[in-house]
């Protein structure tokens, strides 16, 4: 952190700042210019920069090191590759996750998974505990949903991901699921993040509806600081003033995150757009922009889907898109 003092401030003020940052566990490095004094505070402790800004004679406090450590490229330079029972995300491997928004029945999952398996999809999605805006909307089948998901996935030799909503559900997810999804609405459920840091299964961490990239990476830091290093980030659109799409897909988050973090980043074009006719173009844009994978909602019969039918692709539509995406991946020297 750099502390820029007011021009011609007194020696006493400089000393007070130096003593303050030392008392907080930092080393102080003073640099005197012709009229400005700059104090460099070096250390790994957490400090509220406003406490320094309020000291007499301080003009500005500039943070130079990032608040996230373990998730950053400074800590680990090479890309992290998450290997989910042989299916890889990151470091040139693009992963595809597909399936319905929610598990409705064995038949619905079986019909959908069969089609996805034929296309070469290896990871099946399906919510069993749904974070619905309305308490009156379908909340998911609960454990029964997880059982169906696992059973169908095993039948087609697929891995599964599903959303975990609270700490008490973790043991259930450890039993049935290969990747635990943290939904946008829970990105800052810090108790949940801490508990997920203690398990040893990959976590798919979605970006919060209004979260900055820094806040999102700090949430990943919560998980990683607990010891779980297997984190896949997922950009799923953010809330903006635009209403033509459900959310606004922040494509630039892909290169921004990849520059500062070693973690793989996926894109969810379904929740980002809310409309199936836009999903193919956004999927291609995401892969072209360097995403390490996609999570796409597909339903064998979107018209009868219990939720998110409008943003769910038809199996044929998905099959065509997946072929195009494989071709696109080749051009950028990556592979699904």
**Alpha-carbon distance 173 to 201, whole Å?**
10
Quick one: what does residue 183 bind among Mn ion, ligand PEP, none, with the CB cut-off 5 to 8 Å set by partner type?
ligand PEP
Q: Which stretch binds ligand PEP (CB under 6 A): 91-99, 178-186, 255-263, 319-327?
A: 178-186
By CB under 6 A, residue 246 contacts ligand PEP:
no
Token digits of residue 268: 């969810």
For Mn ion, the nearest residue by Cβ is: 101
Q: Which does 203 bind (CB under 5 to 8 A by kind): Mn ion, ligand PEP, none?
A: none
**Distance, C-alpha 248 to centroid of its chain:** 16
184 binds, among Mn ion, ligand PEP, none (CB under 5 to 8 A by kind): ligand PEP
Classify the phi-psi angles of 195: left when phi > 0, otherwise alpha if psi is within -120 to 50, otherwise beta: alpha
CA distance 74 to 79: 12
Of 33 and 131, which CB lies nearer to ligand PEP in the complex structure? 131
Q: Is 101 in the site for Mn ion (CB under 5 A)?
A: yes
> Residue 267 Cβ, how far from ligand PEP at the closest point, in Å?
11
CA 256 vs. chain centroid, Å, equals: 13
For the four alpha carbons of 167, 188, 126 and 309, in that order, the dihedral sign comes to: positive
Considering only CA atoms, which of 314, 303, 232 is closest in space to residue 266? 232
**Which parts of 186-297 fold into alpha helices (H)?**
190-197, 213-225, 253-260, 269-273, 279-288
Task: Figure out which of the listed residues 95, 100, 127, 202 binds ligand PEP, where binding follows CB under 6 A.
Answer: 127
178 binds, among Mn ion, ligand PEP, none (CB under 5 to 8 A by kind): none
**Residue from 122, 150, 271, 276 binding ligand PEP (CB under 6 A):** 271
- List residues near ligand PEP by CB under 6 A: 101, 127, 131, 163, 183-185, 206, 236, 268, 271
- List residues near Mn ion by CB under 5 A: 101, 308
């Amino acid at each position: 952190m750099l502390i820029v003092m007011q021009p011609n401030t007194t020696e006493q003020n400089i000393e007070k700042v130096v003593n303050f940052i030392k008392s907080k566990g930092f080393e102080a490095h003073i640099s005197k210019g012709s009229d400005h004094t700059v104090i460099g505070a070096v250390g790994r402790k957490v400090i509220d920069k406003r406490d320094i800004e309020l000291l007499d004679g301080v003009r500005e406090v500039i943070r130079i090191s990032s608040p996230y450590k373990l998730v950053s490229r400074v800590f680990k330079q090479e890309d992290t590759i998450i290997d989910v029972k042989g299916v890889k995300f990151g470091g040139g491997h693009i992963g595809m996750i597909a399936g319905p928004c929610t598990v409705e029945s064995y038949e619905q999952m079986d019909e959908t998974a069969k089609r996805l398996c034929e296309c070469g999809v290896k990871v099946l999605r399906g919510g069993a505990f749904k974070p619905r805006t309305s308490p009156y909307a379908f909340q998911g089948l609960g454990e029964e949903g997880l059982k169906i998901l696992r059973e169908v996935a095993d039948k087609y030799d697929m891995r599964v991901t599903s959303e975990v909503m609270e700490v008490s559900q973790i043991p259930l997810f450890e039993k049935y699921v290969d990747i635990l999804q943290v939904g946008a609405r829970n990105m800052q459920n810090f108790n949940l993040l801490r508990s997920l840091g203690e398990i040893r299964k990959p976590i798919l961490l979605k970006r919060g509806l209004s979260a900055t990239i820094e806040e999102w990476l700090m949430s990943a830091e919560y998980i990683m600081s607990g010891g779980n290093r297997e984190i896949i980030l997922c950009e799923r659109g953010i809330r903006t003033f635009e209403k033509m799409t459900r959310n606004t897909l922040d494509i630039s988050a892909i290169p921004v995150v990849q520059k500062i973090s070693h973690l793989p980043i996926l894109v969810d074009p379904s929740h980002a757009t809310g409309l199936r006719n836009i999903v193919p173009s956004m999927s291609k844009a995401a892969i072209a922009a360097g995403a390490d994978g996609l999570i796409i909602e597909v339903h064998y019969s979107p018209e009868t889907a219990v939720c998110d039918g409008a943003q769910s692709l038809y199996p044929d539509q998905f099959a065509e898109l997946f072929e195009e995406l494989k071709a696109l991946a080749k051009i950028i020297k990556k592979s699904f």
